[in-house]
Chains A and B, each alone.
Chain A
């Protein structure tokens, strides 16, 4: 059975109608999937369902074979804003999940030095070595986002949820962080669900790109991306890649202009 399994899932926050509707999909363990779609299509709702922050109003969500009934502790999350705590150093920010999630929480005092080692190692792999004792407001936006991703990964989650994590960064920093994420994923092979507006980002990173419709959000297409891995950044300038992005782009364009998809 797949790692994440959605069976005809719908969610209505209130009586105004479904935010997402009739979503069936399965994500394999270690797969990298991306969700793209016009704004307000329920991508973030999908994330909430996947992590158990919200329950579905129809259908069933199963993760790792179990029906989801509450927040899943095997998840790490990162958002568009880094949301680091300004009174903690970068190192302490990254350690935060270990102070909360079991079983690390109980061992935190005893194994603190070991945990700090993990955090330093993780910070080193994303290129933040030497910034451990700095406060978040002393870091640039891109560095904050790197630290935020470290925080999402410190408790070794099996499922990483990313909600437009690079949307607020400049183009160069964004591409840099794509590679950081790619390398982390290649090394650890956790399952990633990436919600994004950026089609190049989705095509570069993901194994499967899901295209969602306008609200109520439905899956219109699941497009496998079979560029060989590891993928170099230069790949994004090749013709086959550009063609794929254009195909996705026109698909989204159709959704945006064509109100007849479903209103």
Chain B
């Protein structure tokens, strides 16, 4: 790959963002849309600057609750995935249950969580956790369950115990699956937190958007949207980088 094409590839996402903003600004101006329905890009940017203080505070709230829920999801997802993936019986027993659980809209859990834990950070953390642990479980379990039987024979004939096979082969082999699922899980965790905040909180970006919307301050609502997606993008890229670092051997085709 030449340096020129590499630069072009690196710049492409920024150009796409810029193009979207331009189209957005142009559309709003051209059709003269009132700002309380659809604020222009410049108005949103202005809101971002004007309300930088409160936005910063609420984003921090959203960020740490999301990370807490995500951390919980990773821990539980990893353990559950390991247990389910290393036993054929458990895999078959638990999989339908997990699929059923995953199909429940997580917003339906929020009222229950509020009854149990009250309004605030706890329901947000738990919603983020509930929504993000599933892909981790499925990926880790699949990574373990699809182990080549010949490879297992090679180790078993040496007298390897189940734990040996898990540590030497199963775990490293499922790492690419695990890191791939982290990228999905982190964005889902943001969804969970914000959903919970809109329904049951008085802090966080979700709450900020909700209250700004009820006052018809649409530019602030859009500012909130942009902050959420920016946070999710940064975290996604962070985990993509981590994935590349940890499991480079699995991405050899893309070097």
Contacts and interface: CB of A to CB of B under 8 A. Distances in A.
Contacts of B11: none
Contacts of A87: 172-173, 175, 247, 249-250
Contact of B158 (A71, A78, A79, A81): A71
Given A85-B169, A85-B172, A137-B252, A71 B156 contact: yes
A118 interface: no
Interface in A45-96: 48, 51-53, 71-73, 75-79, 81, 83, 85-87, 96
A100 interface: yes
B155 interface: yes
B159 A101 contact: yes
- The range of chain A's interface size is 20 to 34
B29 interface: no
B94 interface: no
B157 A77 contact: yes
B249 A86 contact: yes
- The range of chain B's interface size is 20 to 34
Given A83-B151, A87-B249, A100-B164, A53 B172 contact: no
A125 B169 CA distance: 27
B32 interface: no
Contacts of A99: 168
B154 interface: yes
A53 B156 contact: yes
A185 interface: no
Interface centre among A76, A96, A151, A161 (most CB of B within 10 A): A96
Contacts of B175: 87
A121 to B, nearest CB: 20
A76 B159 CA distance: 11
Interface centre among B155, B175, B250 (most CB of A within 10 A): B155
Nearest to B156: A71
Interface of B: 148, 150-151, 153-160, 164, 168-169, 172-173, 175, 247, 249-250, 252
17 contacts: A53-B153, A53-B157, A75-B158, A78-B154, A79-B154, A81-B150, A83-B151, A86-B250, A87-B249, A87-B250, A96-B168, A100-B155, A100-B159, A100-B160, A102-B159, A135-B249, A151-B154
